[in-house]
Amino acid sequence: MCELLGMECNVPTDIVFSFSGLALRGGAKGPHADGWGLALYDGNAVRSFLEPFAAAKSPLASYVRANPIKTLLAIAHVRKKTRGEVSLANTHPFTRELWGRNWTFAHNGTVKKLDRLALGRFQPIGNTDSEYAFCALLAALQKKFSSYPKSTRALWQAVADISTKIGSKGTFNFLLGDGTHLYARCATKLAYVIRKAPFCQATLADDDVCVNFAEVTTPNDRVAVVATVPLTRDEQWTIGIPGQLWVFRGGALRATL
Candidate list 2, 9, 135, 186, residue with the active-site label: 2
User: What count of residues does the chain have?
Assistant: 257
Cβ-based burial of 59 (10 A; exposed 0-12, middle 13-18, buried ≥19): exposed
**2 has catalytic annotation:** yes
Euclidean distance between CA atoms 86 and 35, whole angstroms: 7
- Is the backbone peptide bond immediately before 93 cis, with ω within 30 degrees of 0? yes
Torsion angle of C-alpha atoms 170, 78, 246, 116, degrees rounded to 10: -30
Torsion angle of C-alpha atoms 190, 145, 10, 209, degrees rounded to 10: 30
What is the phi-psi region of residue 200: left when phi exceeds 0, alpha when psi lies from -120 to 50, beta otherwise? beta
- Cβ neighbors of 249 (< 8 A, separation 6 or more) are 8, 180, 181, 182
What pairing do the DSSP bridges indicate for beta strands 71-78 and 94-98? unpaired
Euclidean distance between CA atoms 128 and 148, whole angstroms: 27
Euclidean distance between CA atoms 257 and 166, whole angstroms: 15
Q: Which active-site residues does the annotation give?
A: 2
